[in-house]
Chains A and B, each alone.
Chain A
């Protein structure tokens, strides 16, 4: 599930923006569920609200998203060598 959420825009900081979060560990878990596509509607709504009012949550969200993208996009995908594919196929044929 791809979720597009508003990014933090410092020029539009609302006056009630929180600079400290007392449930940071819980918020972090929720953010990971959301990025993994495993969150409930309720959790999504809560995050939406936090991303408008809680600075630590905004930063955690961006970090988690960045780390996930590093893993998905930047790491080299090793492909199976052709030779191995051929070996497996020929070994299978000799089975029966």
Chain B
């Protein structure tokens, strides 16, 4: 993407902590105030609905989503000199939002018990073993589920798994973009997504069977 081979694209993305140390190979772009507003309005603001949706799906709360989006945009403006025009603004913003969520929001979360840590731990510990099972579910069994049921199933997943599904399936990021947003290798993106989908299918199966969408009811 970049035509300056000496520059590592990763360095263009600020970390969650507001530490920017422009070095020789990452010259901070010196935007005038006018240019800053222009970049902000033209490159950042068009993604605000996606950003809000992401924040809402992460926090599952409107007020928290509001705070998270506002913090993210203010941070983005403050560190605008580390954004290079013409590069992927959406991925850049999503990365800041994700880091803000981890650093700020999750720490002060009122309900840490929302996540079943036991569940997360068990799942992570088996990450190397890879899930070789497939979920016994048919497409027809879930095709009648409504949006709220799908959302509830998604919300029931531990946040790291929920995140990869949101980024991939809802926001349409590529694996490479997701790797940058999440600071994980692409192989981890792939395996986490795979595990996330297995978990999601289990939740969807629970919904489908509780709603009486049984295989026998086909046709």
Given contacts A25-B134, A74-B146, contact A59 B139 (CB under 8 A): yes
A32 and B134 form a contact (CB under 8 A): no
Asked if B112 is at the interface (CB within 8 A of a chain A CB), the reply is no
Q: Is the CB of B70 within 8 A of A87?
A: yes
Contact A84 B194 (CB under 8 A): no
Size class of the contact patch on chain B: 35 or more
A29-51 interface mask toward B, CB cutoff 8 Å, 1 = contact, 0 = none? 10011001110000000000000
Closest chain A residue, CB of each to CB of B169: A71
State whether the Cβ of B204 lies closer than 8 Å to any Cβ in chain A.
Answer: yes
Complex CA gap A78/B150 in Å reads: 15
Measured CB to CB, the closest approach of chain B to A62, in angstroms, equals 4
B-side contacts of A60, CB under 8 Å? 134
B48 contacts partner chain A, Cβ-Cβ < 8 Å: yes
Q: Within the assembled complex, what's the spacing in Å between the Cα atoms of A28 and B195?
A: 11
- Docked-complex contact B165 and A71, CB < 8 angstroms: yes
User: In the complex, how many angstroms separate the beta carbon of B63 from the nearest chain A beta carbon?
Assistant: 11
Other-chain contact of B134, A28, A33, A84, A88 (Cβ < 8 Å):
A28
The answer to whether A67 touches B132 (Cβ under 8 A) is no
Of all chain B residues, which has the CB nearest A66?
B139
A15 close to chain B: CB less than 8 A: no
Contact (A25, B132) CB under 8 Å given A63-B139, A88-B74: yes
Contact residues on A (Cβ < 8 Å of other chain), bracket: 35 or more
Task: Check A80–B143 contact: CB distance below 8 A.
Answer: no
A78 near B65 with CB under 8 A, answer yes
Q: Of residues 152 to 184 in B, which have CB atoms within 8 Å of A's CB atoms? A: 154, 165, 168-170, 174-175
| Interface: B66 (CB within 8 A) | yes
Looking across the interface, which residue of chain A has its beta carbon closest to that of B40? A92
B65 contacts which chain A residues (CB < 8 A)? 78
The reply to whether B139 and A85 form a contact with Cβ atoms under 8 Å apart is no
Are A92 and B37 neighbours in the complex by a CB distance under 8 Å? Answer: yes
- Please give, as numbers and ranges, the residues of chain A lying within 8 Å of B130 by CB-CB distance: 25
User: Contacts A62-B139, A80-B49 hold; do A38 and B197 have CB atoms under 8 A apart?
Assistant: no
Shortest Cβ distance from A84 into B: residue: B66
Residue interface mask A54-96, B partner, CB < 8 A = 1: 0000011011111110111011111111001101100111011
Question: B47-80, CB under 8 A of A: which get 1 and which 0?
Answer: 0110111001100000001100110011001100
Could you list 15 A-B pairs, sorted by A, with CB under 8 Å?
A25-B131, A25-B133, A37-B174, A38-B174, A59-B138, A59-B139, A62-B139, A64-B197, A65-B139, A75-B154, A76-B147, A84-B69, A91-B74, A92-B37, A92-B40
- Interface of A with B (CB < 8 Å)? 24-25, 28-29, 32-33, 36-38, 59-60, 62-68, 70-72, 74-81, 84-85, 87-88, 91-93, 95-96
The 6 closest A-B pairs by CB, nearest first: A80-B52, A66-B139, A62-B139, A71-B169, A74-B147, A25-B132
